[in-house]
Amino acid sequence: MLKKGKRRVAIRIDMTPMVDIAFLLLIFYMSTTTFKPPEVKSVSLVPSHSQVKLPEKNIINVTVTAEDSIFIEYIDTKTEIVEGKEVTIPQRFYRYAPIERFNYELVDVRRQLGLNVELVVKADRDASFGVMRKLMRTMQEVNINQFSLVTELEMG
């Protein structure tokens, strides 16, 4: 006896809705993604329950690494002449500011950016309290009495 030949059924699936959704998601992800700016040093943040949004503009970012070295990071506009026109280009600057010189560097950066910039301190969880205490003391000395600590949201 002959085996019955398999019947081939031509299946056609309309892929249009799937493709629509795929593109929708694609466009969503493409438009919402902003790549993380390069960091001087990677820092593992301390968890906390604080839910205050971090200021994003007009900030001086102070990074304290696990080895207690301090970096000041800020965005300043630079004026350049492109094709005969003056163009201001925002540019990211980094400075290494050891604690003995932190005072001087901070004042210098503040002079460049103006006084209404906020200070954001991003410290590694393994940084010592000693260096943070000196940092806070320096801020008091230059009359910065409010700053934000960057933390990671902890649940529970």
* Lateral strand order in the sheet of 59-64: 85-96, 70-82, 59-64, 118-123
Q: What character string, x for contact with another protein (CB under 8 A) and - otherwise, covers 122-151?
A: -xxxxxxxxxxx--x--xxx-xxxxxxxxx
Task: Give the end-to-end CA distance of the chain in Å, rounded to a whole number.
Answer: 71
Tokens of 39: 């960091």
Q: Which is nearer to another protein, 48 or 88 (CB)?
A: 48
- Total binding residues toward another protein, as defined by CB under 8 A: 50
Q: Which of 7, 12, 33, 82 binds another protein (CB under 8 A)?
A: 33
In three-state secondary structure terms, 27 is helix
Minimum Å gap between C-beta 141 and another protein is 7
Rg from Cα positions in the chain: 26
Out of 5, 36, 72, 111, name the contact with another protein by CB under 8 A: 36
Phi first, then psi: give them for residue 34, nearest 5 degrees: -120, 130
* Site membership for another protein, residue 63 (CB under 8 A): no
- The reply on whether position 49 binds another protein by CB under 8 A is yes
